[in-house]
Amino acid sequence: MRSVLVVGGSGYLGQSLGRTLGSRGISTYNSKPVPNGLHFDASETRLRDLISEMSIEPSHAVVTYGAINPEFCARDPVGSAQINVHSVIEAMRDAIDAGIVPVFLSTDYVFDGTRGARNETESTCPTTQYGAQKVAVEEWLHNQNAPWIIARASKLVSGARDTHSVLGQWVNDIQDGREMRCATDQVFSPALVDDVARSIVQLIDHAAIGIFHVAGDEAMSRYDLAKTLVETVEDLTPTLSINLTAAKIHDFPFLEKRPLDTSLDTAKLRALDITSFRSMKDLCTDIAREHFS
């Protein structure tokens, strides 16, 4: 169990990876410092320079940073590609040159959403700039004569209220009495961010290589996930008025049409005896108890 470099350790998943790895983890940050972190700005610095200054040689480098908002990618495809494609490839090239195995965090948006339960052997077919940028990096890795891991994630969630987790955002909406307007036809495979972090570390410790779908086992619509949280909150506080309304994903004025069903088949991951993922019902129950009991 050698050390692991987390490039983007101040991000949502990066912080969870840092907690999971403990003393094994070496995290980088840009604008938001992390304890014992190393400053790294991909727009100004080469990862090879950081690696050359490290006293410990990690076995893997998990690249988690990027422009993750699909709207930003659609609005600025050139600028977002500079981050999500060019700088990420440069960082992974530096890792490979140093004998370090790159671990790339990809997305369920590499598929078009026309049907769910996609597995790792199926051809990618993105319909958004964000998905296409992730595919570009995946294709680059496929052409490298070196080991690598692609971890395709779906919706990462937790009860944290100051992140992009939809569950944490809905806690704020419920407490502030705001409408929760959620799509019934947008389906994904939500997973607790800490479970995803643990699975990635286990893939590293299994010396796995290739593509793995690191996601939850439940295919759920955004509306159904919100309803699960609402029902658990209502069980605790039946007098609370919660405004959950149903919509279609194409009712929202996105610059690009979002894929509908991007749920993932996780059989390949489960075959490795990877840690089990918490159910959304259990997670929502804990979140409700924390904030509304």
Domain ranges (residues) in the chain: 4-156+191-216+265-277
Token digits of residue 199: 């699975």
Could you read off the pLDDT tens digit of each residue along the chain, which spans 293 residues?
A: 789 999 999 999 999 999 999 999 999 999 899 999 999 999 999 999 999 999 899 999 999 999 999 999 999 999 999 999 999 999 999 999 999 999 999 999 999 999 999 999 999 999 999 999 999 999 999 999 999 999 999 999 999 988 889 999 999 999 999 999 999 999 999 999 999 999 999 999 999 999 999 999 999 999 999 999 999 999 999 999 999 999 999 999 999 999 999 999 999 999 998 778 999 999 999 999 999 98
Distance of alpha carbon 244 from the chain centroid: 25
d(CA 186, CA 183): 6
Q: Tell me which architecture the domain covering 4-156+191-216+265-277 has in CATH.
A: 3-Layer(aba) Sandwich (3.40)
CA dihedral of 277, 278, 284, 287, whole degrees rounded to 10: -100
Residues 226, 183 contacting (CB under 8 angstroms)? no
pTM of the model: 0.96
